[in-house]
Amino acid sequence: MTKIISKYLLLTLYLLAFYACNTTRYVPEGEYLLDKVNIKSDSKEFGTAELRPYIKQVPNYKMFGINKTQLQIYNLSGRDSSKWINKQLRKTGQPPVIFDSTMIERSAKELKKLFVYKGYIDTEVTTSIVAKKKKVEVSYKIQTKDPHLVRNFEFESQDSLIKNTLFQKRNPKLRIPNESASAQTSLIHEGMHFNRKVLNLERDRITAYLRNRGYYAFNKDYISYDADTIMSNHAVDLKLKLHLYPAILPNGMFAEIPHKKYFLNKTFIYLNYNPLEYNTIADYVAKDSLILGEYQIYFKDKSPAIRPKALIDNNFLSPGRPYAQIREELTYAAYSSLMALENVSIRFEEFERNDSSFLNTYLLTMQAKRQSTTFALEGTNSSGDLGFASSIDYNHKSIFKGSENFNIKLRGAYEAISSSDNNYLEVGAETALRFPKFMMPFLSSSFKKTIRASTEFAMSSNFQTRPEFDRILFSGSLRYLWQGRGQRSSRHQFNLLDLNYVKIPSIDPAFRDSLPLNARLFSFTDLFIAGASYNYSYSTFNPTQKRRDAHTLRLSLGSAGNLLYGLSSLANAKKDDKGSYELFNVYYAQYVKADLEYAKTVFIDKQNSVAWRIGGGVGIPYGNSKALPFEKRYYSGGANSVRAWKVRSLGPGAYPNTTSSIYDHSGDIKLDLNIEYRSHLFWKLEAASFVDAGNIWTIRNYEQQEDGIFDLKKFYTQIAIGYGLGLRFDFDFFLIRFDTGWKAFNPEKTGRDRWAIIKPNFGENFAWHFAVGYPF
C-alpha cells in the first residue's frame, strides 16, 4: 500500500513539474510567448533598467530575476476554468504574455523619443525578432550618434520689470527663506546638450522664482522656446521667450501688458470652517471676531479654540510683503502640523488700489477633536506562559489653547509563569506635554521661523515584579525636535536632559550569583543616569512613491554622568568600595555612546529591489563606571539583526552560547552588515532572500564573557554570518514579515564546526522571526 501511495505521489509531483515547466501550455496555436527582451545601447547615459519602462510589452515576471513563478502557477491550472482550484491558480498566477508585433514599433518610438528628448536627435532604434518553439526573443539596438549642443542662448521679453528681476546681480540677501540656493541660477548654458527635460525644468525654475517675488498670477505657460537647427552641424540656436500678460482693458479691448506684482493686504482667519457645509466664505456666519492689526479672526465659539498668537506665529503670509508661493506652502504646512486644527485651506482675493495689485489672504480651517481616550487589551504568550496586558490612554490636542499636546498613559501586564510560584506583574504610567515651538532662550525669532520645532517634557514610572527580582524605574526628560521648514528628509532631536533612576528592592540570590560580574555590580543594583544625547536622521524615502531608490542615514551621540562626576571631584566626595562616587547613596553611571547606520534600497525594476545596510555602535564606560548600564548595552540576533540567531543570543565575540541568559549576550560594541533581495510574488505577497553578518563585543574582559573582548587582530574572524528566506505581506499602511535564517558561519564554534553551512542542522542552526515592517 505504501509503495502504491509513493508511486501516485511521485506521478503527481511529476505532472505538476511538467505543467509548471511547460511555459507555453496556454499559448494558442499560431501565437508565440514573449520569452525575452534584450536592450543594447551605445550610450552610457542610461542603464538597461532605466530603459525597460519604455518597452511596451515585457515578458512574464521572473521572481528574483530567475524563475517565472507566476506563469508556472498559472500553468498548473486545468482547462476547466469553472472549477474553484483552477480559478484560484489563475487568479494567483500570471497568464502568458502573447507576443504582439505592434508593440515593437511603439516601443522603438518611445526609446527614440527618450534619446531625442535628451539631445540625441539623430538616434536610430533597430529591432530584431528570433522565434523558436512557440517562443519569441525581441532585441532593441540603440545607436545615439552625436548629441546636439546649444550653440547660442538668448532671452527675450518685453516685460522690463520681470527681466530685471530675473537678471539682477546674484545676492544671497535676495533669497526667500527656505528657497534653494540655486534658485537664481539658470539651468541653460551654451555648450550643454539640447536636453528638453532641462528646458522644462528651466520653465519651472523661472515660474517658481517669479511667484516667490510677487507674481502671483504667473505660470509656466507664459514661457516658450524657439530652437533653430537649420544649417548647423549638431548645433542649436536657442531662444527663451517670456510673453506678456493677455488682459482685457476697461474699454473691452484686448491688450498684452506687463505682469502684475501682488502685495499681501489683510489676513482673514476662519475657525470652524467646514467646506462641506459652506459653498462660499460668505455663507459662514461667525459668532464673534477679533481684529489684531491686519489680522481678523472669525470663530463660532465664545472665544477662539486656539490662541490668536499661535495662529499668527504660524502664518508666513505677512501683510505688506510681496506674495511668495513658498510662504504659502510654509503656512499650509505649519497650520497642518498644529494638532488642534484640521482641513486647512488657503484662498486669495485679488483687488486693485492706486494702480497697485493686492491680495487678501483667507486661512480656512476646522477645529480637530480636542480630547480622546483609548483602551487596549491584548493577550501575551512568552514561551508558553500565558498572560494579558491592558492600557488606557488619554490625549488632549490643545490643553493650553496653543495646540500643546498632552498625553497620559496607564499600563498594566500580568503573566503566569509555569516554572515558578511567583508570576510576572508590571504596572506603569507615563505622561508627556509637547509644545509646537522651540522653547529655548537666546534663539532669534527669525531662526525659529526657519524651522518646524517642538519641545517635549516627559515623565514615566514603572514597577516590575518577577520571580528573579523586583524593579522600580522613574524617568524624566526634556527634549527638542526640529526640522527645516519645507524639509521632510532631515530630522533632529536633542535630549537636553534625560534622567533615569532604577531601584532594585529585592533580587533572588541564586539569580544574582548566575549573572556576569558586571551585570551584578552595575545593572542589577540601584542606579541613577543623568545624560544628554543628540539624534539625527536623513531619509529620502517617500511613502507616496515606494518604488523609488531611497537611502537613510541615522546618527546618535550621547553621554551621561560627566557633570555629576565633575561636581563630585570638586567636592572631594568619597568613593564607595567599588571605586565609584554616589549621589544620595545611589551609584550613577558615566559613559559616552555613539551609533551610526546607513541603509539603501535600489530598485532593479518595479518588482525587484536590493536593500543593504551597514551599521554599528560603541559605548565606553569610564570614570564612575566599570560597565555600561544594561539598558545601554548592545545585543545581536533577532528580527532586525543577524536573523540566523534568536534575539539576544549571539556574542559577544566567540563567547559560547551555553546559557539562555540575555545578560551574558550583551556587549559594548556592535556591527551589523545586511543585504537583502526583495521580489514581489503576487497580490500583497513579497519574497526575500538575505545574508546577514555581524556580532557584538566587549571592550573589557568581563567575568563570564570569555572570548568576548574586541581585538583588532581577530575581530573579523568572529563576525557571524547567516542566510535565509522571508515572506512579507505588504498592506501599504503596514507590512507583516516572516523571516527564517540559517547559520552559515558560527564564531562560537571551533574548527570545521564553525562552518555550519556545510552541515546544516535544522534544530541547532535555524531561527525564525515574526515582525512588523522591514528590518532596515
In this predicted model, what pLDDT tens digit does every residue of 274-301 receive, in sequence order?
988 988 899 998 889 999 989 999 998 8
Identify the pLDDT of residue 542: 79
Q: Give the CA dihedral 76, 77, 78, 83, nearest 10 degrees.
A: 150
Q: Looking at 101-105, 382-386, 411-415, which range is the least confident one?
A: 382-386
pLDDT recorded at residue 54: 94
Determine if the peptide bond prior to 509 is cis (ω within 30°): no
**DSSP assignment letter at 318:** -
**pLDDT at residue 6 greater than cutoff 50:** no
Q: What does the block give as the cell for 433?
A: 506635554
Choose between 661 and 191: higher pLDDT: 191
| Nine-digit cell string for 612 | 543593504
Cβ 523 vs Cβ 587: under 8 Å: no
Mean pLDDT score across all residues of the chain: 89
The residue-averaged pLDDT of 98-126 equals 95
pLDDT at residue 12, as a whole number? 44
Q: To 5 degrees, how large is the angle CA 327–CA 328–CA 332? A: 115
Alpha-carbon distance of 617 to 628, in angstroms, equals 13
Residue 16 confidence (pLDDT)? 46
Q: Name the residue among 159, 205, 203, 160 with its Cα closest to residue 185.
A: 205
Q: Pick the closest to residue 687 from 643, 641, 729 (CA basis).
A: 729
528-541 in b/e form (b: 16+ CB < 10 A) is bbbbbbebebeeee
Task: Give 418's pLDDT tier (boundaries 50, 70, 90).
Answer: low
343, 363 in Cβ contact below 8 A?
A: no
pLDDT at 8: 42
The domains located in the chain, with CATH, are 2-143 (3.10.20.310), 149-257 (3.10.20), 262-367 (no CATH)
* Spatial separation of the C-alpha atoms in residues 450 and 330, rounded to whole Å: 10
Residue 589: the pLDDT is 94
What is the reported pLDDT for 261?
Answer: 97
At residue 331 the predicted structure's pLDDT band, cuts being 50, 70 and 90, is: very high
Whether the pLDDT of residue 17 is over 60: the answer is no
- For residue 660, the model assigns a pLDDT of 58
pLDDT of residue 518: 59
In the chain, what is the greatest distance between 2 CA atoms, to the nearest angstrom? 103
Is the pLDDT at 773 greater than 80, yes or no?
yes
Structural contact between residues 652 and 599, judged by C-beta atoms closer than 8 angstroms: no
pLDDT number for residue 554: 97
- Give the pLDDT confidence score for residue 10 in this predicted structure: 46
Task: Give the Cα separation of 189 and 199 in Å (integer).
Answer: 11
User: Cα–Cα distance between 32 and 24 in angstroms, integer?
Assistant: 8
Inter-CA distances, 611 with 12, 183, 369, 548, Å: 38, 34, 40, 12
> Region 326-347: what's the mean pLDDT?
93
Note the Cα 402 to chain centre separation in Å: 29
Is residue 493 over pLDDT 90? yes
Decide: helix, strand or coil at residue 98: strand
Predicted pLDDT of residue 517? 62
Where residue 15 falls among pLDDT bands split at 50, 70, 90?
A: very low
Buried b (16+ CB within 10 A) or exposed e, 62-100: bbeeeebbbbbbbbbbeeeeeeeebeebbebbbebbebe
Per-residue pLDDT tens for 47-93? 888 899 999 999 998 887 788 988 998 999 988 888 999 988 888 88
Do the Cβ atoms of 68 and 172 come closer than 8 Å?
A: no
Burial of 151 by CB count in 10 Å (0-12 exposed, 13-18 middle, 19+ buried)? middle
- Dist. CA 420–CA 447, nearest whole Å: 59
CA distances from 207 to 96, 179, 222 (A): 47, 13, 9
Residue 1 has pLDDT above 50, yes or no: no
Q: Is 336 helix (H, G, I), strand (E, B) or coil?
A: helix
User: What percent of the chain clears pLDDT 90, i.e. is strictly above it?
Assistant: 61
pLDDT over threshold 70, residue 174: no
Place of cell 467646514: 274
Q: Cα dist. 245→237, 256, 354, 378, 668 in Å?
A: 26, 5, 20, 65, 68
pLDDT value, residue 130: 95
Confidence label for 519 from pLDDT (cuts 50, 70 and 90): low
Which of the two residues, 509 and 688, has the higher pLDDT score? Answer: 688
Residue 745 β-bridge partners: 721
Q: 10: part of which helix (H) or strand (E)?
A: helix 2-21
Q: Sort strands 451-465 and 424-435 into parallel, antiparallel or unpaired.
A: antiparallel
Q: Is the dihedral of CA 209, 212, 213, 217 positive or negative?
A: positive
| Other beta carbons less than 10 A from residue 146's beta carbon | 11
| Cβ-based neighbours of 752, under 8 Å, separated by 6 or more | 758
Pick the range with the lowest mean pLDDT from 92-106, 162-176, 481-495. Answer: 162-176
